Structure 1
């Protein structure tokens, strides 16, 4: 009998680039398969910014994992090598930046298809900001300057995603308005400091690295506004 691996996604409201305590990244690695997981960083959304890559390597090299980076703006791997490399990873960690540009570059190089294949094979996909937006079918993004709707995501997570729900001016009312009017489908809004694990598209776990950080489920209420429901988050450092 063939065992089908669970398909898992993690959305991060923080991580190595913003959090000094490293709690969210430690929580992420604890959910990876294998005792020493291979973790690939995709810095595409930032244009493969060298400083961002350095912060990732500085954060993950001391941890019990095997970190690697996949640059696409100066790509070195042919199609076969690229597929072999991505499918060998236990975790794919996508950084922040421009969601629309990220998706466009991935599609040019066929990375979107490879990530779907990796997902179906059990690779844990995750990311922060743009790296959280990209997995959903739609998202709330500043890719075009002002906050806007993007309905061009990979669709591995049903609905929509909104990061930085509590930390960037205008995010909350703009996202609620987009969901209320149907411009965006119902979805998940992450405050900074939250981590969420989805298995086969269903929320399995929500955690917070700081007191009071919340995850919200936002849905239209049928009366022209949006219903916002806080989801309990386990404080990191406590027992599940």
Structure 2
């Protein structure tokens, strides 16, 4: 009996929408299960913003992959075709924007269930900002305006996620407060420039395109505070 493939998720602190060097995107493609992977961009969190879609197609159209986009605000695929399309992808790359809105739209269309099924079949799920938040049990977000916690997510990655840990004022203290209070479970915080790969819920690789950028494990200390452990990712060549 063939063993089920591992569940693989990648959290990105950058990529085609923020960086010119393409190092994190190339790192993601290097973990795809195919030499010429099928890569689907899901721009739900930005409301399927046309400029965001164009930037993805420009960046990945120049790479050795088959790049496609899944729009949901002007959905074209019926349920059977949508399932077949997502399960056929080697990489699903989710863009940034509003995490809470993304989750609501996905659940309306059943995309949450299909992505979990695709991940169980070997598809690598990844994304930046909201596209990193969505995979966890909860996340730190500005979906409601001010920075706050969102105790909601797909739960494919145990714990919580906080993006933009070093670049947005208030991220670090607000996230640590949420973990300390129990509003969010222990989790992972990413500086911009970092990529983190998880296999069956365990961290298996951390990389960075930015000097001095880190991945952090943040846990409650049992005394009303947190313990923050910095992990030094492997620098990406180039």
- TM-score tier, shorter chain, comes to over 0.9
> Which residue does the alignment assign to 1:61?
61
2:39 alignment counterpart: 39
Q: Are residues 1:167 and 2:167 paired?
A: yes
Q: How much does 1:37 deviate?
A: 0.2
Rounded to whole Å, the distance in 1 between the matches of 2:3 and 2:36 is 22
Summarize deviations over 1:36-57 as a string: whole Å, max 9, x none: 0000000000000000000000
TM-score using structure 1 length: 0.98
Taking the aligned partners of 1:207 and 1:186, their CA distance within structure 2 comes to: 21
List aligned pairs for 1:107-122, cutoff 5 A: 107-122=107-122
Q: By how many angstroms is 1:232 displaced?
A: 2.1
How many residue pairs end up in the alignment?
238
Cα distance in 1 for residues equivalent to 2:54 and 2:120: 30
Other-structure match for 2:136: 136
Q: Distance in 1 between matches of 2:110 and 2:93?
A: 17
How do 1:225-236 residues align onto structure 2 when only pairs under 5 Å count?
A: 225-236=225-236
* Normalised TM-score (structure 2): 0.99
Deviation at 1:97, TM superposition (A): 0.1
Distance 1:6 1:65 in 2: 22
Equivalent runs, 1:2-151 vs 2, <5 Å: 2-151=2-151
CA distance in 1, matches of 2:232, 2:158: 20
Aligned equivalents of 1:113, 1:222: Cα separation in 2: 35
> Secondary structure in 2 aligned to 1:195?
strand
CA drift at 1:163: 0.1
Structure 2, gaps ≥5 residues long: none
Give every structure 1 segment of 4 or more consecutive aligned residues whose post-TM-superposition deviation is greater than 4 Å.
none
SS of residue in 2 equivalent to 1:173: helix
Aligned-pair distance for 1:212? Answer: 0.6
| CA offset digits 1:145-171 (Å, max 9, x no partner) | 001111110000000000000000100
Q: Secondary structure at the match of 1:105?
A: helix
> Are 1:179 and 2:179 an aligned pair?
yes
Shift of 1:102: 0.1
CA RMSD of aligned residues (A): 0.7
Q: 5 Å matches for 1:182-193?
A: 182-193=182-193
